[in-house]
A = this chain, B = another copy of it.
Amino acid sequence: MAKPNSPITEHLAYLLAQANREINRQLELRLSKEGVPVEQWRILKVLSDGSGHSMGELADAVLLNHPTLTKMIDRMVSDTLVYRVQDPNDRRKVLMFISDRGKVLCRKLNSLAVDQEEHILESYGDKSTSELKRLLESLIDSSN
Chain A residues with a Cβ under 8 A of chain B = 1-5, 7-8, 10-24, 26-27, 38, 42, 45-46, 61, 63, 107, 110-111, 113-114, 116-118, 120-121, 123-124, 126, 128-133, 135-140, 142-143
Contacts and interface: CB of A to CB of B under 8 A. Distances in A.
Contacts of A142: 123-124
Contacts of A113: 11, 13
A144 to B, nearest CB: 8
Copies in the complex: 2
A15 B131 CA distance: 12
Contact of A139 (B116, B118, B128): B128
Nearest to A126: B1
A114 B3 contact: yes
A45 B7 CA distance: 8
A23 B131 CA distance: 19
13 contacts: A8-B45, A12-B133, A13-B23, A13-B27, A13-B116, A14-B42, A15-B137, A16-B20, A16-B23, A16-B24, A17-B63, A19-B136, A132-B136
B136 A16 contact: yes
Contacts of A15: 133, 136-137, 140
